[in-house]
Amino acid sequence: MSKSIKPSFVEGIYSTSVSFDITEVEQELGICWDDVTDFYIKWCCLFLTMKDGTVLEVNKEPGQMCWKRPYETNLLDDRFEVL
């Protein structure tokens, strides 16, 4: 740790994930996964693009996240640069 520059911030970075059960998605939306041409996840919502071009959504509430230990910690200056 550098003693020459006083940090402005201590940052903790955490990692989490969200998963969707394909069988549950198929049942909820009444689709077959074989008809999905593309997908992405944003804000805990799974977006599916179907062969006919329609886009379907499946929302999921975020689960509990473990805040016990970050996977990375940093000291940052006033421009948010890592020291």
- Tens digits of residue pLDDT in 32-41: 999 999 999 9
49 confidence band (pLDDT: 50, 70, 90): very high
Residue 11 lies in a domain: no
55 within a domain of the structure (yes/no): yes
Tokens coding 25? 């998605």
Q: Supply the range of the domain harboring residue 43.
A: 17-64
- pTM across the whole model: 0.70
Position 73 in a domain: no
Overall number of domains in the chain: 1
Using the Cα atoms of residue 27, residue 28, residue 32 and residue 38 in order, give the sign of their dihedral. Answer: negative
The identity of residue 31, as a single letter, is I
With respect to residue 24, please indicate whether it lies within any of the assigned structural domains: yes
